[in-house]
Structure 1
Amino acid sequence: MSTIIDHSGIKKMVMLPVLLIAFSVVGQDAARYIDSITQRLDDRQKLEMLNEHTVEVRARNFALGSALADEALRLARKMKDEKLLALPILNKGTIYYLTGNLDSAQILWEDAMARFLANNDSVNWAHACLNMGRIYKAQADYDKSISYNQTALKVALEHHDTLATLRCLEGIATSYHKMGRYQEAYSYYKQTMEMNPNDKYTDIALGTLMNMGALCDDLDKIDEALERYTRALRIADSLQLPMRSATVLRNMGVIFIQTGENHKALNCLFKSLYIRDSLGLKREYASTLNIIGKVYELEGNLQRANEMYIESLRISEAYDDKDRIAVGLRLIGENLLLSNDFASAEAYARKSLEIAQRASLLLHTKENYKLLTLIFAASHQLDSAKEYIDRYAELKEQMTIEFDDETPTDLSEVSRDAPDGSAGLFQNTPSNGMTWLFSLIIITGLVVFIFVLMALLTCRRQQRKKFYRKIQ
């Protein structure tokens, strides 16, 4: 993988900030730091100080944050008060989560939830619920993630906890976004932004800008997406949050692919890749490999692209990451289609589709319908092509949304059960006659489509293809 990281000009551009981050981690004497913040305090005050500083430094300095959490756990056990263990356990779980150890994070957060419940500590119990929502979102179990976030949201609203409310709203929004339910996602993102005017809560503003940028990308609002990402990158850099900077750089790389600026795309993507490799973020590293592979594919280097996809898929399978496994399988299928290996392309597309449908990943399901349509059309299986283009059109129609910026948002509705989306998504469904007419048009146009497709596949290696799907 060193040949990837040592991309011309990229490594030098990111070496300085990464070295500064590494120096901060390695050079920090944790013991001295702990002594400096806890001297002349009794044990209870020391524990409060350790918990507070763990939260403040963990996102910038994993090693120091972990040392603080460990010392807090040691001190809480020494004090032999079970009630004091819950918060250090929660914080240690967060360290595991930030470094990609989701299994350990989940174990500790579930332990913390039980302890907070036993202590009648509803506020911190809600924070633990919020964290569990993140775990299930990372596992692509979005329904369960939304459920945990909504539970936490009820408590946050009852206690007028603005920061926790914002985090819950953002968590719900991102889960709907990942599911392809854009109407709900947009509604919750909008509420998050309205509750945080002038970016008062900077970290929340950063997350919202990043996520709204992703939503604009999915809706092909390229200029708006790039503007939000640029703002987000400034905030991430100013807060010295390398993980967030890497994510924004990755997403900006995708935008530049769409605009045909592959040089700028690779610049951003290799910066992101190098930071993620330095931080040991394997899942995110795999995601970036997929996008770099797409750039190579656009430039006609199918073999190099496939190497990127296979390496990314290997990492995703090691973590049983359903979302990224579905993406990786589909990308390999697309690559094989370009190589005219239709049978293998179909096999990969069907594997990806099976995972996407099982996990209710609508966006991946839609993309696999499109891929199977292209495969069957290219291999002259017109009945199968017609079947999947109908499925694609139907699902795309279901995912189409209309935004009404004049519609006021109502937080009183937020704490209720999650809407199933049927009212918003299907209210513009055409009548049976219109559906029949639409199908007739599709059938008539399919013949022309096949001939055009044959010519397109012949010259596709030399053409730029709009890459409008941001790979998560």
Structure 2
Amino acid sequence: MVQTNAQTKTIDSLRQVIKTAKHDTTKINAYSAWGEQIYMQLPDSAISLWKISEKIANDLLASHPGTQIAGTTKKLLASSLNNIGYIYQMKGNIPMAIEYDSKSLKIYEEISDKKGMAASFNNLGVIYYNQGDIPKTIEYYLKCLKIKEEIGDKKGMATSFNNIGMIYNDQGDIPNAVENLHKSLKIKEEIGDKKGMACSFNNIGAIYKNQGDIPKAIEYYNKSLEIQEEISDKKGMAESFNNIGAIYNYQVSVAKSRQDFAGSDSLITKAMEYYRKSLKIREEIGDKKGVANSFNNIGTIYDQQASIAKSRQDLIGSDSLIIMVIEYYRKSLKIREEIGDKQGMAVSFNNIGAIYLQKNELRNAKTFCEKSYQLSKELGFPENIESATRRLKQIYEKQGNYHLAYEYLKEEILMHDSIQNQENYKKTQKQQAKYEYEKKSATDSISNAKAMEIKNIELSRSEEVKNKQRVVIYSFIIGFLIILIFSIIIYRLFIQKKIANVILSQQKEEISAQRDEIETQRDLVTEQKEHIEEIHKEVTDSINYAERIQRSFLATKELLDDNLNTSLRGTASHDSSSGKQSFEDETNYFVFFKPKDVVSGDFYWAGKLQNGNFALATADSTGHGVPGAIMSILNIFSLEKAVESGICEPSEILNHTRKTIIERLKKDGSPDGGKDGMDASLICFDYETQKLTYSAANNPIWIIRENSLIELVHDKMPIGKHDKDQISFIQHEFELQKGDVIYTLTDGFQDQFGGPNGKKFLTKNLKQLLIANCQLSMEEQKKIIENALENWTNDNGVQYEQTDDITIMGIRI
């Protein structure tokens, strides 16, 4: 919870008052005030405090009925009930909101507290407005306005005019909307209500925005913002920043539809700037609902950027931005779930589902869209239901479930018609004034029309008799013809049925014989299938057991965490002059290890050398699958044997490993001995000198520094029998700097076939992918690599089989 020092002191004081209070009314007041201090940050806790007030008040009324203290207690009770109703309204729990506001209104009416009655009428109007019940909304707003005029509450009158103006705006009656909003503004200017003036400017700006007059909208939003900054109304400032951001966001959509990508980029920057300003203030004041809305809005900006990147054929950039979209939508959802904002949750579920649908991840899309659908049905908002059913229809269409797709289509149309009926109601309201005028004009001409009407009635009676006679004659003729045609059709169907029965009897005998033969063959196939499945299970179990054995030889997470996270940990900082960002990640490394089969020829190994340095190897053994896995175990054994003998230099470790492999494979029975082995890189970290010592055999080592890739030199020969196996591997040193990102890898990713033309991914594309994302956290980089591989091997429905084992390790200094 975010609290200011003053707020904390106030709450401490209220606790002390409750502890020492001698009168129950004092306690009621204190609990009520405490709830008002925290309702923005902790709405559920505020409800609990107000319910304590409610209980104390009810107990006091039960023990002191009819006394002077009862009047004061009832007023305090009504205030607590009103507050609880407001929170339930904010959380989207409409039935509970109506229940508590109605209880509050009843008590205010009992004690003739007109100001309280007006507040309850206003709250109920807001609830019915959110439900889309415009007649009820207007009824309660007018009741509220009437009371405020009676008691001379000018500030309250201004609020009512404002609310009525917004109703006219929703109904599309712009002249009446502007008139009521200006009435509200005039009163606020008279009484010097600057906060209210800012609200009026904001609402007038919203009307101009809806009318498409963007310059006027921004003018009024800025007027609102200027006053809010003057009076330090932080909540209002956040709202104004958000509204201005929404205008720029809308203009992005317009520019994008015109293919004006350059214009879109500048508008996106503006929208993001204002959305982040709004977010910062909302976080400062603990406005959780506002923070959730800001996260959602920032997510829509990233979604716009991803769409533009895709239009520019920048698929890697688009995928990276989609990750940001999901991240911000999930942040918004998390807060909405915390505060119980059900309508907001429905929107978030739908937004996340739409992104997964866009990514063709149908299972995730279905999960989130179904949650949105259930919540929207519970709340009864047609717009949300229509959106959720549209997404579910699209999902089931893609899954080939056309029955469910059709069911959701019907509900989508039903919701669309419901929304359309509301729109038609608005149009009807607009025509009301015109109708009243035409009605008056028609009344003036009624007298002249009477005589003509009588004459027309007499003529129409004669014509009506003739028409009835014609109808009887024509009905008889048509009925006879229908009966005749129907009889002919029935007779023909009877004859066809007799013929069909004879044919069916013959076919039934043939089918019976064929069925017996098919059942015999089916039993044989079933028996063979069960035998094959049994063999397959035994083979699969053996391979899975081999995979567990192989995994025990790989570097463990604990070993990597201890030596890469602890020793290479950096401190997060931002260099404002260069724009570089360094990180303090949860982890300083990632391992992307994806065998082609269950077991792998690729492996990664790590260990401590006797000189205290930490060694890390990434290797590609000859072959893949079971043969590659067996070879990898021999290679790891040979590598560990070299280290255990006390060798600390990378080149000598590789030389010793090669010698062991060649000696072992001499016994394979071939004339020259086996030529198998591995390609590998071995890097050693000296944490004290920040030096990297390495030796590499056919495997690359890349270092990205300040968005530039440095490719370290490697020997072009394998670790195994080769025409150069008498030549020593070369050892190199490299001075590391903070922020360097080291990548060691095998050739599996680069050689993977896929994409639009079924070609290899290539080394240059992998380098570009790593450079483009090196500034992200290591976990995010790993996700982007995973997504890039998935997209490359699944292009427009064409699924490419994995070509080779894949290993990529990334380490940030």
If the length of structure 1 is used for normalisation, what is the TM-score? 0.55
- Equivalent residue letter for 1:348: Y
1:335–1:136 Cα change, 3 Å: same
1:400-419 matches, within 5 Å, as: 400=342
SS, match of residue 120 in structure 1: coil
Aligned residue number for residue 274 of structure 2: 348
CA offset digits 1:108-162 (Å, max 9, x no partner): 999999789867344245336545655666x777567546544543432232122
Residue 174 (1) aligns with residue 86 (2) = yes
1:112–1:134 Cα change, 3 Å: closer
CA offset digits 1:375-409 (Å, max 9, x no partner): 445442572556666777898896448xxxxxxxx
SS, match of residue 212 in structure 2: coil
Instruction: State the distance in 2 between where 1:293 and 1:197 align.
Output: 37
Aligned residue number for residue 232 of structure 1: 144
1:315-330 matches, within 5 Å, as: 315-330=227-242
2:28 aligned to which of 116, 121, 126: 126
Instruction: State the distance in 2 between where 1:278 and 1:104 align.
Output: 32
1:182–1:268 Cα change, 3 Å: same
1:437–1:115 Cα change, 3 Å: closer
Instruction: State the distance in 1 between where 2:171 and 2:329 align.
Output: 27
1:282–1:152 Cα change, 3 Å: farther
1:362-373 matches, within 5 Å, as: 363-365=289-291, 367-368=293-294, 371-372=297-298
Instruction: State the distance in 2 between where 1:393 and 1:133 align.
Output: 25
Instruction: State the distance in 1 between where 2:11 and 2:196 align.
Output: 22
1:344–1:433 Cα change, 3 Å: closer
CA offset digits 1:205-248 (Å, max 9, x no partner): 21111011112222322222122101111111112111111111
Instruction: State the distance in 2 between where 1:348 and 1:443 align.
Output: 33
Aligned residue number for residue 213 of structure 1: 125
Aligned residue number for residue 101 of structure 2: 189
- Equivalent residue letter for 1:325: M
Residue 435 (1) aligns with residue 367 (2) = yes
Percent sequence identity is 21
1:299–1:225 Cα change, 3 Å: same
SS, match of residue 172 in structure 2: coil
SS, match of residue 300 in structure 1: coil
Residue 284 (1) aligns with residue 216 (2) = no
* Stretches of structure 2 lacking an aligned partner (at least 5 in a row): 62-72, 253-266, 309-317, 354-362, 372-387, 396-422, 427-813
The 10-residue stretch of structure 1 (180-189 or 333-342) with the greater mean CA deviation from structure 2: 180-189
1:52-451 matches, within 5 Å, as: 120-124=22-26, 126-127=28-29, 129-131=31-33, 133-134=35-36, 142=43, 146=47, 149-160=50-61, 161-178=73-90, 182=94, 184-195=96-107, 200-340=112-252, 341-356=267-282, 361=287, 363-365=289-291, 367-368=293-294, 371-372=297-298, 374-379=300-305, 380=307, 383=322, 399-400=341-342, 435=367, 438=370, 442=391
Instruction: State the distance in 1 between where 2:245 and 2:33 align.
Output: 35
1:260 Cα offset (Å): 0.7
Instruction: State the distance in 2 between where 1:279 and 1:113 align.
Output: 36
Whether contact under 8 Å (2:11, 2:37) holds in the other structure is no
1:319 Cα offset (Å): 4.4
- Larger proportion of strand: 2
- Equivalent residue letter for 2:133: K
- Equivalent residue letter for 2:28: A
1:445–1:151 Cα change, 3 Å: same
CA offset digits 1:32-86 (Å, max 9, x no partner): xxxxxxxxxxxxxxxxxxxxxxxxxxxxxxxxxxxxxxxxxxxxxxxxxxxxxxx
SS, match of residue 159 in structure 1: helix
Instruction: State the distance in 2 between where 1:259 and 1:396 align.
Output: 29
Whether contact under 8 Å (1:142, 1:176) holds in the other structure is no
SS, match of residue 132 in structure 2: coil
Instruction: State the distance in 1 between where 2:330 and 2:394 align.
Output: 12
- Equivalent residue letter for 1:283: K
1:333 Cα offset (Å): 0.5
SS, match of residue 217 in structure 2: helix
* Stretches of structure 1 lacking an aligned partner (at least 5 in a row): 1-102, 402-420, 447-463, 468-472
1:119–1:197 Cα change, 3 Å: closer
1:307 Cα offset (Å): 2.2
1:316 Cα offset (Å): 2.8
Instruction: State the distance in 2 between where 1:345 and 1:369 align.
Output: 13
If the length of structure 2 is used for normalisation, what is the TM-score? 0.34
Instruction: State the distance in 2 between where 1:155 and 1:259 align.
Output: 44
1:249 Cα offset (Å): 1.0
Instruction: State the distance in 2 between where 1:443 and 1:354 align.
Output: 35
Instruction: Calculate the aligned-residue CA RMSD, in Å.
Output: 4.6
1:315 Cα offset (Å): 3.0
- Larger proportion of helix: 1
Instruction: State the distance in 2 between where 1:208 and 1:316 align.
Output: 27
1:291–1:169 Cα change, 3 Å: same
- Equivalent residue letter for 1:213: G
1:115–1:378 Cα change, 3 Å: closer
Aligned residue number for residue 591 of structure 2: none
1:118–1:229 Cα change, 3 Å: same
Instruction: State the distance in 1 between where 2:336 and 2:170 align.
Output: 20
Whether contact under 8 Å (1:180, 1:361) holds in the other structure is no
- Equivalent residue letter for 1:346: M
Instruction: State the distance in 1 between where 2:30 and 2:230 align.
Output: 27
Aligned residue number for residue 66 of structure 1: none
1:112–1:392 Cα change, 3 Å: closer
1:146–1:310 Cα change, 3 Å: farther
The 10-residue stretch of structure 1 (287-296 or 390-399) with the greater mean CA deviation from structure 2: 390-399
Instruction: State the distance in 1 between where 2:60 and 2:158 align.
Output: 35
- Equivalent residue letter for 2:223: E
Instruction: State the distance in 2 between where 1:327 and 1:356 align.
Output: 9
Instruction: State the distance in 1 between where 2:14 and 2:365 align.
Output: 57
SS, match of residue 152 in structure 2: coil
1:164–1:396 Cα change, 3 Å: closer
